[in-house]
Amino acid sequence: MADLSYPPDYLTSRILYRDGLMLVIDKPAGLPVHARPGASQGARGKGPAGDNLENYFDALRFGLPRPPALAHRLDRDTTGCLVLGRHPKALRKLGRLFAEGRIDKTYWAITRGAPQRPSGSIRARLVKTPRGKGWIMAVADEESDAGQAAVTTYRTLTRRDGLSFIEAKPKTGRTHQIRAHLAHIGAPILGDPQYGDLQHGNLTPDGRAAPMMLHARRIVIPISNAKPPVVVEAPPPDAMAALLAVMKDGGQPE
């Protein structure tokens, strides 16, 4: 196991919801959800190279014979609601719900610039495209059938000083979907190292350590046919909460 950035029981204090089937944790920024082959610590990472959330799952057994496992993914610098299945049967059920689009996900984003339309639906296919030593999810030409269909609905909640506070709902679950879609409509996410400020060279060297302002705010999971859906919300991280407070104080509501 890699050296840990935090105590082994770090995630126990970040549990937002727990039952016999699943856990929902408040994912911190700066840690990938799992190890990737050949991954090394980048300039934006914190703590030892190679650390990831799965290193902390053993403390989340709560009496079960094995640790929970990821039911879906969030990007390394995205914060908020992350769902874990507590055993294989639960993981299969959660996997079906995610695959069928039955889990409702709400994200908060702070962007530089504003969409031309304050609310709407983004329908733009995404194609994995090499860039430098890595890759991005590029928006395909409108007439192309390349890549994967992707749909995101959004609404602008507040604008101030060239920034926008946007609520986004991905209707499909493509890699980097919200990040690529918001950049596509002229509202790249603040601090995004691939689609946002860093891409356009707007940050100073010190600003390269700034957190990415994308947060998985709310998730609604219809895990049981006999009970109401499980609704979980994650509070915004401190940096986002502080910026939202400034924006809401004298901002322009849409």
Of 66, 100, 134, which one is at a domain's C-terminal end?
Answer: 100
d(CA 203, CA 188): 13
Pair (45, 75) in one structural domain: yes
Of 36, 69, 100, which one is at a domain's C-terminal end?
Answer: 100
Active-site position among 26, 51, 75, 77 = 75
Pair (136, 228) in one structural domain: yes
| Contact call for residues 150 and 181 (beta carbons, < 8 A) | yes
75 counts as catalytic: yes
The boundaries of the domain holding residue 5 are 1-100
Q: What is the mean pLDDT of residues 209-222?
A: 91
**pLDDT recorded at residue 193:** 87
**What pLDDT, in 10s, does the model give residues 78-114?**
999 999 999 999 999 999 999 999 999 999 999 999 9
**What pLDDT, in 10s, does the model give residues 227-249?**
999 999 999 999 999 999 999 87
- CATH number, residue 26: 3.30.2350.10
Of 100, 130, 161, which one is at a domain's C-terminal end?
Answer: 100
Pair (35, 152) in one structural domain: no
Q: How many domains does the chain have?
A: 2
Pair (82, 152) in one structural domain: no
Pair (109, 76) in one structural domain: no
Q: Is the pLDDT of residue 186 over 90?
A: yes
